[in-house]
Homo-oligomer: A and B are copies of this chain.
Amino acid sequence: MNATPNPELRSQRSRRAILDAALELAVRDGYARVTVDAIAAAAGVGKQTIYRWWPGKASVLLEALNDRTGPARDVPNSGDLGRDLTSGTQAVVRLLDSGLGTVWRALVAEAQTDPGLAEELRASFFEPRMQRWQARLDAAVATGELRADAPTRTMVEHLFGPIYYRLLLGTAPLDPADTAHVEYFLNGVRSPDCP
């Protein structure tokens, strides 16, 4: 029947109630124990209203998290690259270490077996943030702070990789104070200044 619903007629009230209810349930009960039925009931909404706008609970929660976290903010640019990288990665660690972190992990997990969600996650969260950071590194290249041939795109992965490694593989607790890899990283790509 209604292949594609009309977004202009969408009830913002229902959208809000769904996002809020989903996040609250997920934080309180854990992602796995949240069901679409429960979200609908808690939001005072028909189940179909959820399925009309999202493919499943994972997408609801992704939007809820993005909505809560706000858009990709400008990465810090104080002129001191080391300080910016440190504070930036620490901010990420603090976010992931909060109550939302557990939901976030579950979402990344679900994306492993759901290509649609994986793409959604990449496009709506990782890509924008990675591009901001890449721009910051490009600026450092421009000022000569980083080597001219620094592969800024993959460097962003190297910056945040260790954080997600700990988060997802659980080999050690997350710790905002632990930013050693930033230091090593910088040493490796800084313009040579020994002599």
Contact = CB atoms under 8 A, between A and B. Distances in A.
Interface of A: 1, 30-32, 37, 41, 105-106, 108-114, 118-119, 121-122, 126-127, 130, 151, 154-155, 157-158, 160-166, 168-172, 178, 180-181, 183-189, 194-195
B165 A1 contact: no
Given A37-B1, A113-B109, A188-B186, A157 B162 contact: yes
A126 B194 CA distance: 37
B171 A157 contact: yes
Given A157-B162, A194-B194, A151 B180 contact: yes
Nearest to A130: B171
User: Dominant SS at the A interface?
Assistant: helix
Nearest to A183: B188
Contact of A168 (B108, B181, B189): B108
A122 B110 CA distance: 19
A108 B169 contact: yes
A32 B126 CA distance: 24
A106 B109 CA distance: 8
Given A157-B165, A161-B181, A164-B161, A112 B122 contact: no
19 contacts: A31-B113, A106-B113, A108-B169, A109-B110, A109-B112, A111-B170, A118-B170, A119-B170, A121-B169, A122-B171, A157-B181, A158-B161, A158-B162, A158-B180, A161-B163, A162-B162, A168-B168, A184-B188, A187-B187
B112 A41 contact: no
A6 to B, nearest CB: 15
A108 B106 CA distance: 11
Given A157-B171, A183-B188, 10 more contacts: A1-B37, A108-B168, A112-B168, A126-B169, A154-B162, A154-B172, A158-B180, A161-B162, A162-B162, A188-B188
